[in-house]
Amino acid sequence: MEESSNGRPDAANWRKEAVDWAKALVVAGVLVVVIRMFLFSPYIVDGPSMQPSFHTAERIIVNKIMYDIRQPERGEVVVFHSGFGADYIKRVIALPGETVEVRGDTVLINGEQLSEPYIQEPVDTAAASGGTYNNKDYPPQTVPEGHVFVMGDNRPNSHDSRDIGFIPYEQIVGRADVVIWPLGSIRIIGHD
């Protein structure tokens, strides 16, 4: 910054620098709004329904454009508008046109058992004590076009498609891609 003859910063240069800073802040603000509205958004996990995969108060980044490019796939963790005044986080289990059934700890898709490595440990623990991890069966139903069937990983404590029905694509906010908080839990989210 140039100084005037009396050793103080020139007022015109000070104003120019202030205007440049203001422009930069406005551009940064617009970028933040655009990114949050259309591309990515932070969410906080609230409740135990996705344990052991996710825990209450974990912060995740949701990719909001993924499903503008393609449809959800089995195993992906999605955030959706539940219609109960909150957004839910659940795992996609069955896709349009598939018949889904839940019998104890067995999930059947078109009559074939679904492999679910993300809940294998609690399922094995429940089996070792003579019980089942899941406490809600679900009779065979075919997923309608434009919908998915979702379940929480914490099967005994999840309000999911077994209770609320199939989730329309238009209610899906996006795919959970990254856990960003707490620091010890930072990770890319696997979608097996």
Mean pLDDT, rounded, for 181-192: 77
At 167, the amino acid letter reads: I
What integer best gives the mean pLDDT of the chain? 86
Q: Distances from the Cα of 191 to the Cαs of 33, 74, 78, 121, 177, in angstroms?
A: 28, 8, 10, 17, 9
**137/162 Cα distance (integer angstroms):** 8
Residue indicated by tokens 């498609």:
161
Q: Which of 53, 64, 90, 161 is an active site residue?
A: 90
Whether 90 is a known active-site residue: answer yes
At 151, the amino acid letter reads: M
Whether residue 137 is predicted with pLDDT greater than 90 in this model: the reply is yes
| DSSP helix/strand/coil, 75 | coil
**170/110 Cα distance (integer angstroms):** 25
**168/42 Cα distance (integer angstroms):** 22
Q: 187 CB contacts (<8 Å, ≥6 apart)?
A: 178, 179
| Extended beta strands in 19-154, E state | 40-44, 59-63, 77-81, 87-94, 99-103, 106-109, 112-113, 138-142, 147-151
Contact (Cβ atoms closer than 8 angstroms) between residue 136 and residue 102 = yes
Whether 82 is a known active-site residue: answer no
State pLDDT tens for residues 101-118. 999 999 999 999 999 999
More confident position, 7 or 144: 144
Lowest model confidence (mean pLDDT) among 55-59, 99-103, 151-155: 55-59
Whether residue 29 is predicted with pLDDT greater than 70 in this model: the reply is no
pLDDT of residue 68: 86
pLDDT classification of 1: cutoffs 50, 70, 90: very low
Q: Which of 49, 53, 158, 161 is an active site residue?
A: 49
Burial of 82 (0-12, 13-18, 19+ CB in 10 A): middle
